[in-house]
Amino acid sequence: MTAELNGGGPHAVHLVGAYYLDALDDREAEAVRNHLDHCAPCRTVADEMVETIAAMAVLFEPDDIARAGEADADEDQEDPPPD
Ligand SMILES: [Zn+2]
């Protein structure tokens, strides 16, 4: 069950970020959930990660989203000329 967690050490810390970004498959997510259930250090890291993600979300305003959309549109038109 936890075999895939052992690749990066005995803890799931390296997978917690991907877990919260929903970037793991069901089996990996389940393994991280199980690990967090019984591993206090990883839970602490996970809690801090969630707080950090929440704090970052507060930094962004609706204007930033509009600007990010414009930046994406610019990128499409901005092909560097060949030398
Ligand atoms: Zn752990």
List, for residues 24-73, the tens digit of each pLDDT value: 999 999 999 999 999 999 999 999 988 988 888 888 877 887 888 887 77
Q: How far is the CA of 51 from the centre of ligand 1 (A)?
A: 18
Cα–Cα dist 12/48, whole Å:
14
Distance 12 CA to ligand 1 centre (A): 5
φ, ψ (nearest 5 deg) of residue 9:
115, 180
Q: Are 19 and 29 in contact (CB under 8 A)?
A: yes
Chain segment 30-41, per-residue pLDDT in tens: 999 999 999 999
Question: Domain residues of the chain, as ranges?
Answer: 3-77
Spell out which residues have Cβ within 5 A of ligand 1, the ion.
11, 39, 42
Expressed in angstroms and rounded, the spacing between residue 9 Cα and the centre of ligand 1 is 9
* pTM of the predicted model as reported, rounded to 2 decimal places: 0.57
Measured in Å, residue 35 CA sits from the centre of ligand 1 at 6
DSSP letter at 32 equals H
